[in-house]
Amino acid sequence: MELSLTDIHLLSFKSVEDCEDYLMTSRWSNRFCCPFCDYHEAYHIRTRRLLECKDCRMQVSLTAGTIMHKSKLSLLLWFQAIQMLIQDELEHTASSLSLALGINYRSARLLLHKVHFAHLNKENRLHLFQKMRESQSIATGHGAQSLFQQHTQEHDLTHLQRQPRHQTQDQTQYQTQDQTQDQDQTQIQTQTQTQTQTQTQTQTQTRPQKQTQH
Protein backbone atom coordinates (compact mmCIF):
# COMPACT_ATOMS: atom_id res chain seq x y z
CA MET A 1 0.00 0.00 0.00
CA GLU A 2 1.32 3.43 -0.97
CA LEU A 3 0.58 6.42 1.23
CA SER A 4 0.22 9.98 0.00
CA LEU A 5 2.52 12.17 2.08
CA THR A 6 0.74 15.31 0.92
CA ASP A 7 -2.61 13.94 2.10
CA ILE A 8 -1.15 13.24 5.52
CA HIS A 9 0.20 16.78 5.60
CA LEU A 10 -3.19 18.33 4.78
CA LEU A 11 -5.23 16.24 7.22
CA SER A 12 -5.24 16.55 11.00
CA PHE A 13 -4.48 13.60 13.26
CA LYS A 14 -5.03 14.00 16.99
CA SER A 15 -4.82 10.37 18.13
CA VAL A 16 -3.55 6.95 17.12
CA GLU A 17 -7.12 5.94 16.28
CA ASP A 18 -7.26 8.72 13.68
CA CYS A 19 -4.08 7.38 12.09
CA GLU A 20 -5.40 3.82 12.05
CA ASP A 21 -8.68 4.94 10.51
CA TYR A 22 -6.76 6.74 7.79
CA LEU A 23 -4.72 3.61 7.05
CA MET A 24 -7.87 1.50 6.88
CA THR A 25 -9.64 3.86 4.47
CA SER A 26 -6.49 4.16 2.37
CA ARG A 27 -6.33 0.40 1.84
CA TRP A 28 -10.06 -0.42 1.85
CA SER A 29 -12.10 2.51 0.62
CA ASN A 30 -15.48 0.94 1.45
CA ARG A 31 -14.85 -1.75 4.06
CA PHE A 32 -12.42 -4.45 5.06
CA CYS A 33 -11.87 -7.34 2.65
CA CYS A 34 -9.76 -10.32 3.66
CA PRO A 35 -7.05 -11.00 1.05
CA PHE A 36 -7.39 -14.75 1.69
CA CYS A 37 -11.13 -15.48 1.87
CA ASP A 38 -12.71 -12.11 0.83
CA TYR A 39 -14.65 -11.90 4.09
CA HIS A 40 -15.72 -8.39 5.09
CA GLU A 41 -15.59 -8.47 8.89
CA ALA A 42 -12.54 -8.41 11.12
CA TYR A 43 -11.40 -7.92 14.71
CA HIS A 44 -9.25 -4.85 15.32
CA ILE A 45 -6.18 -5.64 17.44
CA ARG A 46 -5.03 -2.12 18.31
CA THR A 47 -2.03 -3.15 20.41
CA ARG A 48 -0.38 -4.75 17.37
CA ARG A 49 -1.88 -2.67 14.53
CA LEU A 50 -3.57 -5.76 13.11
CA LEU A 51 -6.91 -6.75 11.65
CA GLU A 52 -7.94 -10.39 12.15
CA CYS A 53 -10.49 -11.88 9.79
CA LYS A 54 -13.53 -13.27 11.62
CA ASP A 55 -13.85 -16.15 9.16
CA CYS A 56 -10.39 -17.54 8.40
CA ARG A 57 -8.53 -15.82 11.29
CA MET A 58 -5.94 -14.38 8.94
CA GLN A 59 -4.16 -11.32 10.35
CA VAL A 60 -3.47 -8.29 8.17
CA SER A 61 -1.15 -5.49 9.29
CA LEU A 62 -2.40 -1.93 8.88
CA THR A 63 1.10 -0.68 8.10
CA ALA A 64 2.05 -3.43 5.63
CA GLY A 65 3.64 -1.95 2.51
CA THR A 66 4.27 1.44 4.13
CA ILE A 67 7.37 3.11 5.56
CA MET A 68 5.87 2.66 9.05
CA HIS A 69 5.77 -1.14 8.87
CA LYS A 70 7.44 -2.96 11.79
CA SER A 71 8.39 0.33 13.43
CA LYS A 72 8.33 0.68 17.21
CA LEU A 73 7.39 4.35 16.98
CA SER A 74 3.74 5.22 17.43
CA LEU A 75 1.61 5.99 14.40
CA LEU A 76 0.81 9.44 15.74
CA LEU A 77 4.52 10.22 15.96
CA TRP A 78 5.03 9.04 12.39
CA PHE A 79 2.18 11.17 11.08
CA GLN A 80 3.40 14.23 13.00
CA ALA A 81 6.90 13.75 11.59
CA ILE A 82 5.55 13.47 8.03
CA GLN A 83 3.48 16.62 8.49
CA MET A 84 6.48 18.49 9.86
CA LEU A 85 8.82 17.38 7.07
CA ILE A 86 6.38 18.14 4.25
CA GLN A 87 5.56 21.53 5.72
CA ASP A 88 9.24 22.49 5.92
CA GLU A 89 10.01 20.94 2.47
CA LEU A 90 12.17 18.16 3.94
CA GLU A 91 14.81 20.58 5.22
CA HIS A 92 15.05 19.05 8.69
CA THR A 93 18.14 17.19 9.82
CA ALA A 94 18.15 14.11 12.00
CA SER A 95 19.27 16.11 15.04
CA SER A 96 16.60 18.80 14.63
CA LEU A 97 13.94 16.14 14.05
CA SER A 98 14.98 14.25 17.17
CA LEU A 99 14.69 17.44 19.23
CA ALA A 100 11.31 18.37 17.74
CA LEU A 101 9.75 14.93 18.24
CA GLY A 102 11.54 13.98 21.45
CA ILE A 103 13.10 10.78 20.06
CA ASN A 104 16.69 9.60 19.90
CA TYR A 105 19.01 10.45 17.03
CA ARG A 106 19.05 6.95 15.55
CA SER A 107 15.26 6.75 15.28
CA ALA A 108 15.08 10.26 13.84
CA ARG A 109 17.71 9.46 11.22
CA LEU A 110 15.92 6.25 10.17
CA LEU A 111 12.57 8.07 10.02
CA LEU A 112 14.06 10.90 7.97
CA HIS A 113 15.69 8.46 5.57
CA LYS A 114 12.44 6.56 4.99
CA VAL A 115 10.40 9.71 4.38
CA HIS A 116 13.02 11.07 1.97
CA PHE A 117 13.09 7.76 0.11
CA ALA A 118 9.31 7.58 -0.20
CA HIS A 119 9.08 11.19 -1.38
CA LEU A 120 11.86 10.87 -3.96
CA ASN A 121 10.58 7.52 -5.19
CA LYS A 122 7.15 9.02 -5.86
CA GLU A 123 8.69 12.04 -7.61
CA ASN A 124 10.78 9.78 -9.83
CA ARG A 125 7.72 7.76 -10.86
CA LEU A 126 5.78 10.95 -11.64
CA HIS A 127 8.72 12.32 -13.63
CA LEU A 128 9.01 9.09 -15.62
CA PHE A 129 5.27 9.06 -16.31
CA GLN A 130 5.43 12.70 -17.45
CA LYS A 131 8.32 11.92 -19.80
CA MET A 132 6.38 9.04 -21.32
CA ARG A 133 3.35 11.27 -21.83
CA GLU A 134 5.52 13.94 -23.46
CA SER A 135 7.20 11.41 -25.73
CA GLN A 136 3.82 10.20 -26.93
CA SER A 137 2.86 13.73 -27.98
CA ILE A 138 6.03 14.34 -30.03
CA ALA A 139 5.67 13.43 -33.72
CA THR A 140 8.76 12.35 -35.64
CA GLY A 141 8.99 12.09 -39.44
CA HIS A 142 6.17 11.47 -41.87
CA GLY A 143 4.88 8.51 -39.92
CA ALA A 144 4.07 10.74 -36.93
CA GLN A 145 5.44 8.13 -34.54
CA SER A 146 6.20 9.08 -30.97
CA LEU A 147 9.46 8.39 -29.20
CA PHE A 148 7.68 5.91 -27.00
CA GLN A 149 6.35 4.06 -30.06
CA GLN A 150 9.82 4.01 -31.60
CA HIS A 151 11.24 2.59 -28.41
CA THR A 152 8.61 -0.12 -28.32
CA GLN A 153 9.24 -0.93 -31.99
CA GLU A 154 12.96 -1.25 -31.37
CA HIS A 155 12.32 -3.72 -28.58
CA ASP A 156 9.29 -5.42 -30.11
CA LEU A 157 9.29 -9.18 -29.77
CA THR A 158 7.74 -9.61 -33.20
CA HIS A 159 10.66 -7.72 -34.69
CA LEU A 160 13.06 -9.98 -32.85
CA GLN A 161 11.20 -13.05 -34.03
CA ARG A 162 11.49 -12.03 -37.67
CA GLN A 163 15.25 -12.51 -37.76
CA PRO A 164 15.16 -16.32 -37.47
CA ARG A 165 12.72 -16.39 -40.39
CA HIS A 166 15.27 -14.73 -42.68
CA GLN A 167 17.86 -17.09 -41.34
CA THR A 168 15.64 -20.07 -42.07
CA GLN A 169 15.07 -18.84 -45.64
CA ASP A 170 18.81 -18.65 -46.20
CA GLN A 171 19.21 -22.06 -44.65
CA THR A 172 16.56 -23.53 -46.97
CA GLN A 173 18.32 -22.00 -49.98
CA TYR A 174 21.59 -23.57 -48.92
CA GLN A 175 19.82 -26.86 -48.31
CA THR A 176 18.24 -26.84 -51.79
CA GLN A 177 21.64 -26.09 -53.31
CA ASP A 178 23.17 -28.97 -51.40
CA GLN A 179 20.34 -31.25 -52.51
CA THR A 180 20.84 -30.35 -56.18
CA GLN A 181 24.57 -30.98 -55.80
CA ASP A 182 23.83 -34.35 -54.23
CA GLN A 183 21.45 -35.19 -57.07
CA ASP A 184 24.11 -34.29 -59.65
CA GLN A 185 26.63 -36.47 -57.87
CA THR A 186 24.21 -39.40 -57.79
CA GLN A 187 23.54 -38.97 -61.51
CA ILE A 188 27.27 -39.01 -62.22
CA GLN A 189 27.67 -42.12 -60.08
CA THR A 190 24.84 -43.89 -61.92
CA GLN A 191 26.38 -42.95 -65.27
CA THR A 192 29.75 -44.33 -64.24
CA GLN A 193 28.10 -47.50 -62.97
CA THR A 194 26.29 -48.01 -66.29
CA GLN A 195 29.54 -47.41 -68.16
CA THR A 196 31.35 -50.02 -66.07
CA GLN A 197 28.51 -52.46 -66.57
CA THR A 198 28.63 -52.03 -70.36
CA GLN A 199 32.41 -52.48 -70.30
CA THR A 200 32.10 -55.73 -68.36
CA GLN A 201 29.45 -56.97 -70.76
CA THR A 202 31.65 -56.29 -73.77
CA GLN A 203 34.58 -58.03 -72.09
CA THR A 204 32.51 -61.14 -71.41
CA GLN A 205 31.33 -61.20 -75.01
CA THR A 206 34.84 -60.95 -76.44
CA ARG A 207 36.37 -63.71 -74.27
CA PRO A 208 34.51 -66.68 -75.84
CA GLN A 209 35.45 -65.49 -79.31
CA LYS A 210 39.15 -65.66 -78.40
CA GLN A 211 38.79 -69.24 -77.15
CA THR A 212 37.07 -70.43 -80.33
CA GLN A 213 39.90 -69.05 -82.47
CA HIS A 214 42.49 -71.21 -80.62
Out of 7-21, 120-134, 153-167, least confident range:
153-167
Mean pLDDT of 142-154: 42
Cα separation of 179 and 176, whole Å? Answer: 5
Cα separation of 48 and 42, whole Å? Answer: 14
- Angle of CA points 12, 27, 91, to nearest 5°: 45
Cα separation of 119 and 90, whole Å? Answer: 9
- The residue with greater pLDDT, 133 or 34, is 34
| Residue 28 per-residue DSSP state | -
Q: Please count the helices (runs of H) and the strands (runs of E) in the chain.
A: 7, 3
82 band by pLDDT with thresholds 50, 70 and 90: confident
Mean pLDDT of 141-169: 42
**pLDDT value at residue 55:** 95
Out of 17-21, 32-36, 184-188, least confident range:
184-188
Cross-strand pairs, 53? 42
9 band by pLDDT with thresholds 50, 70 and 90: very low
**pLDDT value at residue 145:** 42
| Residue 60 per-residue DSSP state | E
Cα separation of 26 and 41, whole Å? Answer: 17
- The residue with greater pLDDT, 96 or 1, is 96
Cα separation of 9 and 122, whole Å? Answer: 15
Q: What is the largest CA-CA distance in the chain?
A: 138
Mean of the per-residue pLDDT values of the chain: 71
Cα separation of 13 and 68, whole Å? Answer: 16
**pLDDT value at residue 41:** 93
**pLDDT value at residue 95:** 92
Please give the helix or strand (H or E) that residue 75 lies within, else none. helix 75-87
